[in-house]
Structure 1
Amino acid sequence: MKTRRFGFIFLLLNIIFTCSVLAQKYNEVDKIVLKYPKNFSSTEELAERINDDFKSDYDKARAIYSWIAFNIKYDYNAYLNPPKSQGFSYSTEAEKQRKIKELNDRLFQKAFSSKKAVCEGFTALYKHLSELSDLKCEIIRGDSKISVRDIGRKNTSSNHAWNIVLINKKWRLIDVTWGQGYYDSSKGRMVTDFSPVYFDTDPDYFFAKHYPDSGSYLGERISKDDFLNGPLIYNKTIENDFKIKSPNSGIIEAKYGDKIDVEIKNASRSNQVFYLNKRNQAVLIKNAKEKRGSLEFQIPYDNTIGDYITIFIDTNSIVSFKIVQK
């Protein structure tokens, strides 16, 4: 009875928070870009409009991010059925760079004209529009963490791409592919849902979900183990700056009767916190304590918990862990 009652509260809160999020999602740059046409005759025309409307490099970079996220959809069919990769030969570094540029030119033109792309098209278009706005921009390729099944993987793979853009002498991390939406496994389709959190993302959050092929960022090594074995975090974690202090690994070893200690910084007792058991029922966290700017609580590990556990705050998924039974 309590579970059913909590389910009703969950639905009611979801409606309230959805309205609140819509009101807060867009900044002033986004609101201007939302009024832009869906179609421009050329990328040059779009860049000219952006450069006319915005003067700071930061606003231009955000406007490019927003327009792409609003208008280019992820091509999930192309992701499932990728074309055969076409290699090329070269004899000099200059020839190599010329051929890479030709490839990226085809990618951004296809994305711009078809309004569909996978990550390579998103990143190529972002780089091209940035350069038309006199912004220095690069494409980074690497691995991504998008599912609970990614927690504890043994190896990384090159399956994703994102951008870095130089603004006010500082490189900013951009993932416009994830900014436009996400794949909903329960519905079996892509969901268009603009998210600003992948524009100028804090590196600590960004590299919890991304791992560059080079293994480094701006000359500093990034821990592959932390990426592979860390917990899975979500958009709302980044948006609300919910830092996961404990457990410090995404893999929890436990036996029945153990208590899993959880600490989430910047959460409070005013938040509704719960997790889902393996029957997908919401279990409300009670008697959580605020301490040092964090919310601390325990989850008893028993046979109602499956292979993974996801913690929610105010109806939003925040963090997932993999459970390994001792």
Structure 2
Amino acid sequence: MRRLFIILFFFTTLSPKAQVSDFDSINFTRADNIAKLNEGESLDNLPILAYNLTHKLNTDIEKFRAIFYWVSNNINADDALNSKVLHKRRKFKNDSLAFISWDKKNKKKFFKKLITQKRTVCTGYAYLIKELCFFSNIECEIINGYGRTFESNVESLDLVNHSWNTVKLNNKWYLCDATWASGYLAEKGKFIKEYNDGYFLTEPHLFEKNHIPENKKKEINQIFPLVYGETFKLNIDPILPSTLKLNCKIGEVITFSYKSLNNEYIPSLIQLKGVKEIPFKIFDVQKKNNITSFKYSFTNKGNYDVHLKANNDIVATYIINVE
């Protein structure tokens, strides 16, 4: 436990700039192709799988890429199992020992389902990443905490519901989430496979907007805007407003801004009425040093769910109370 605390302290305080751009000179095509060549391989022997994914690669970053890409593209999210685990977490929210006892009793069953059916929840994804890294001599840890989605932990951190990984490469700790990289759950719990590379070694300031480690809850003094898979896919980091909720007065000018390496994205601000989009007339759009900003002023009182778009994708949501 002490070792994990030291690791978490290190990556959250000493390595804030660790991100995929550190490896801009690396071509991941070979690693991705090796992962694709091993598509459908068995999980019965993890050392062999790790060897097959990494032995032809020269650097730890390429080896980790092959591991992450393979896990994200070969494991499916299990909605029924996820719902069962979340139900138990809610039931035993104030009794961690009871949840641990239930989890321990069912762990073998969950593990068997992962190995035989390649279906699991976030802890299964994180476990596979860590184990394959272990057999490849790459230091990697699992982090448990609060995953913020439009359905959970939106306005406060109520329920520990997610797991992800931190991996050490070139003496820096990097963040990644193979679960959310693998796809998403659609209506009626159907899993849609859709690889999202934005969750591979994500920039920490973006990652922390919807991944909060369990042991960091007491240090969180603000709830960030809600972000989405498209935010990560486009690598857009919302900056202003810095909080999910904002109070303002009629006529007050509000500045919205986000960071992106792609200055070609067209920003817009909308409100949703059912499936209909109602656009706001933004003004003073500026793009400088990878920062896009614009302004808006509300003319009527009320509570607004405001969505920031980049081109056709919603990348952030704010709750604004206009007095």
Residues 1:37 and 2:39 are matched in the alignment: yes
Residues 1:242 and 2:245 are matched in the alignment: no
My pick for the range that moved more, 230-239 or 158-167, is 230-239
Give the whole-Å Cα distance in 2 for the aligned partners of 1:183 and 1:305. 33
My pick for the range that moved more, 64-73 or 245-254, is 245-254
What residue is the counterpart of 2:21 in the other structure?
none
CA displacement, residues 55-107 of structure 1 (integer Å, 9 cap, x when unaligned)? 2111111111111111111101111223867645xxxxxxxxxx98x987875
SS at match of 1:171: strand
- State the 1:320 CA deviation: 1.0
Q: Structure 1's 237 and 259: CA in aligned 2 closer, same or farther, altered over 3 A?
A: same
Give the whole-Å Cα distance in 1 for the aligned partners of 2:67 and 2:262. 35
Q: Structure 1's 136 and 296: CA in aligned 2 closer, same or farther, altered over 3 A?
A: closer
- State the 1:128 CA deviation: 1.2
- The total of aligned residue pairs comes to 282
What residue is the counterpart of 1:161 in the other structure?
163
One-letter amino acid matched to 1:147: F
Q: Structure 1's 297 and 111: CA in aligned 2 closer, same or farther, altered over 3 A?
A: same
SS at match of 1:152: coil
SS at match of 1:278: strand
Give the whole-Å Cα distance in 2 for the aligned partners of 1:126 and 1:254. 44
Whether the 8 Å contact between 1:259 and 1:299 is mirrored in structure 2 is yes
Give the whole-Å Cα distance in 2 for the aligned partners of 1:49 and 1:245. 41
Give the whole-Å Cα distance in 1 for the aligned partners of 2:199 and 2:135. 21
Give the whole-Å Cα distance in 1 for the aligned partners of 2:195 and 2:262. 27
One-letter amino acid matched to 2:170: N
Whether the 8 Å contact between 1:33 and 1:66 is mirrored in structure 2 is yes
Give the whole-Å Cα distance in 2 for the aligned partners of 1:312 and 1:107. 39
What residue is the counterpart of 1:252 in the other structure?
246
Candidates 272, 279, 286, aligned match of 1:290? 286
Residues 1:321 and 2:315 are matched in the alignment: no
My pick for the range that moved more, 34-43 or 170-179, is 34-43
- State the 1:271 CA deviation: 2.9
Whether the 8 Å contact between 2:79 and 2:189 is mirrored in structure 1 is no
Give the whole-Å Cα distance in 2 for the aligned partners of 1:215 and 1:196. 26
What residue is the counterpart of 1:52 in the other structure?
55
Give the whole-Å Cα distance in 1 for the aligned partners of 2:60 and 2:73. 20
Give the whole-Å Cα distance in 2 for the aligned partners of 1:77 and 1:103. 14
- State the 1:161 CA deviation: 0.9
Whether the 8 Å contact between 2:285 and 2:295 is mirrored in structure 1 is no
Q: Structure 1's 291 and 171: CA in aligned 2 closer, same or farther, altered over 3 A?
A: closer
Q: Structure 1's 196 and 267: CA in aligned 2 closer, same or farther, altered over 3 A?
A: closer
Whether the 8 Å contact between 1:122 and 1:176 is mirrored in structure 2 is yes
Residues 1:265 and 2:259 are matched in the alignment: yes
Alignment of 1:73-92 (within 5 A): 73-82=76-85, 87=100
- State the 1:241 CA deviation: 4.2
- State the 1:130 CA deviation: 1.1
The TM-score with structure 1 as length reference comes to 0.74
- State the 1:258 CA deviation: 4.2
Whether the 8 Å contact between 1:274 and 1:282 is mirrored in structure 2 is no
The TM-score with structure 2 as length reference comes to 0.74
Q: Over aligned residues, Cα RMSD in angstroms?
A: 3.3
CA displacement, residues 102-130 of structure 1 (integer Å, 9 cap, x when unaligned)? 98787555323211100111111111111
Gaps of 5+ in 1: 1-25, 89-98, 217-221
Candidates 142, 147, 150, aligned match of 1:139? 142
Give the whole-Å Cα distance in 2 for the aligned partners of 1:313 and 1:261. 16
SS at match of 2:37: coil
- State the 1:285 CA deviation: 5.1
Residues 1:64 and 2:67 are matched in the alignment: yes
Q: Structure 1's 109 and 62: CA in aligned 2 closer, same or farther, altered over 3 A?
A: farther
One-letter amino acid matched to 1:283: P
Gaps of 5+ in 2: 1-26, 89-97
One-letter amino acid matched to 2:255: D
CA displacement, residues 262-318 of structure 1 (integer Å, 9 cap, x when unaligned)? 122347874322233232315275544225433322234356986411111111222
- State the 1:178 CA deviation: 0.9
Whether the 8 Å contact between 2:145 and 2:214 is mirrored in structure 1 is yes
Q: Structure 1's 138 and 149: CA in aligned 2 closer, same or farther, altered over 3 A?
A: closer
Give the whole-Å Cα distance in 1 for the aligned partners of 2:280 and 2:243. 23
CA displacement, residues 165-185 of structure 1 (integer Å, 9 cap, x when unaligned)? 222222221211111012346
Identity %: 23
Q: Structure 1's 261 and 189: CA in aligned 2 closer, same or farther, altered over 3 A?
A: farther
What residue is the counterpart of 2:6 in the other structure?
none
